[in-house]
A and B are shown apart, each in its own frame.
Chain A
């Protein structure tokens, strides 16, 4: 089955800096790669996703890149703000309808002002 590795486990940056979180996956059939942000006591919230027919996707300060050959994808947050502080999870699933998301172990991002 799918296995998703996520690094780093913790990341501390200064406000205004960029943050990068990286994930690798094992199942070459996976082709959907979402990123979730989870604040304390809340459910995971989708912040951006990418499918395998695209190499990069951007939404304001957030971007995701995908390298299918190397089986890795990354989350890039630019101009970080204190409210970006949270736990971020990457996940992967295959094209098969009804396939569950498999999550990475998460990255705790701390943005200090």
Chain B
């Protein structure tokens, strides 16, 4: 059974960097058949996919255009986890952040396991 455990601060100051970590059990961040995603949810933007990291003989990253200039997602193979860093945050980045495992089946890419969610508030 795959489990994802999120950690990180719930309050970030404007213009600073939001950093969250997602620990993986029951799978490997280096899996050749999964991808590791960050998704956020806010009343104004709904559910919004932010990006992913995955390993296919080398590491790849994909990011949503809306955050591409500000986001980094990094794998940590020594701890079997991955992290989100979103810099230059504004109050618009206030949301519940989820990590999720992405998988492909029948050509479709979907999120089958999710972390518990972290409410991150951007405020001074």
Q: Do A and B come from one complex?
A: no
Chain B residues close to A by CB (< 8 Å): none
Chain A residues close to B by CB (< 8 Å): none
